Amino acid sequence: MNERFLNLTKIPKQPAARMLAMANAELETELSAPASASVETVLQELYEKGALIDMLRLLSVALPARERVWWACLAARDTLKSGAKLPPPLAAAEAWVFKPTEENR
């Protein structure tokens, strides 16, 4: 395995299959990795097979909630025109990412 997917400190040390099952998500790509394989191992195999959508699918269930919300915020910002005002839902989501309190929920 190369170092591309090593040291993913935000991702829990649980088997990728367990995380996918808990989220009721499935990968479309056939894997040779065992069910006990880590997220890092599965990401590497998916990368080698060019299964980019499945890589996104796995990351979307493996990342903690705050990081998933931040990822969504970044994607939403990419759709805005240059200089556009932040829509209130996006501003609220970003506020929660920066300060995840009940008040910002």
- Taking only the tens place, the pLDDT of each residue in 45-104 is 999 999 999 999 999 999 999 999 999 999 999 999 998 999 999 999 999 999 998 888
**pLDDT at residue 1, as a whole number:** 63
pLDDT at 37 over 80: yes
Structural domain boundaries, residue 20 = 3-62
Q: Are residues 23 and 69 in the same domain?
A: no
Cα gap 89→15, rounded to integer Å: 33
Q: What DSSP string runs through 62-91?
A: HS-HHHHHHHHHHHHHHHSPTTPPPPHHHH
Work out the widest C-alpha separation in the chain, in whole angstroms: 48
Q: Are residues 57 and 70 in the same domain?
A: no
The model's pTM: 0.84
When pLDDT is averaged across residues 19-45 and rounded to a whole number, the result is: 96
**Strand-pair partners of 66:** none
Residues 70, 73, 75, 81, CA torsion sign: negative
Q: Are residues 69 and 54 in the same domain?
A: no
